[in-house]
Amino acid sequence: MAGIFGDEISSRGDFQRELEVALQQHENAPKEHRNDAVIVRVGRQLRAIAGWTKDGGEPTKAERKSITMGVELHREYEYTDDDFLYNFHQCVSGVSNYVRHWPTDEDAADADNFDRLWDKYIDEMH
């Protein structure tokens, strides 16, 4: 259990695996979702994150601030009966939160990480 990163992400390795899952889900999106503006923007952001983190890279503060995909999916699809949208939203939210906070493995693994990481995030992003 990893707090704000979801149940799947407790380390940098977990993040990389979940990023790959999100990319795969996006690639295999059902036909009716492929041209949805939010889904298209999320795909662009996922590919950008993959580029930034390739071979152990880390996103800059500006790159981290530019990630809006979790909020966008939440705004559009918080309540949905669509299995693809629900699962994609869950996966992308963990990835998005991880990138925005860019935690240490210790912080990522802490199930009670929200308050500490939120305060650190607010300080860093302003």
pLDDT digits (tens, 9 = 90+) for 69-115: 999 999 999 899 999 999 999 999 999 999 998 988 887 787 766 66
The pLDDT of 8-23, averaged and rounded, is 95
Q: Which residue has the higher pLDDT, 53 or 124?
A: 53
pLDDT of residue 1: 46
Distance CA 72, CA 15 (A): 20
Contacts with 22 (C-beta within 8 Å, 6 or more apart), sequence order: 46, 88, 91, 92, 95
Closest to 75 measured CA to CA, from 89, 96, 64: 89
Calculate the alpha carbon distances from 124 to 21, 31, 73, 121 in Å. Answer: 28, 39, 24, 5
Q: Is 67 exposed, middle or buried (0-12, 13-18, 19+ CB in 10 A)?
A: buried
Q: What is the pTM of this model?
A: 0.87
The structure tokens listed for 4 are 């704000």
Q: What is the pLDDT of residues 39-56, one digit of tens each?
A: 999 999 999 999 999 999
The pLDDT of 64-71, averaged and rounded, is 94
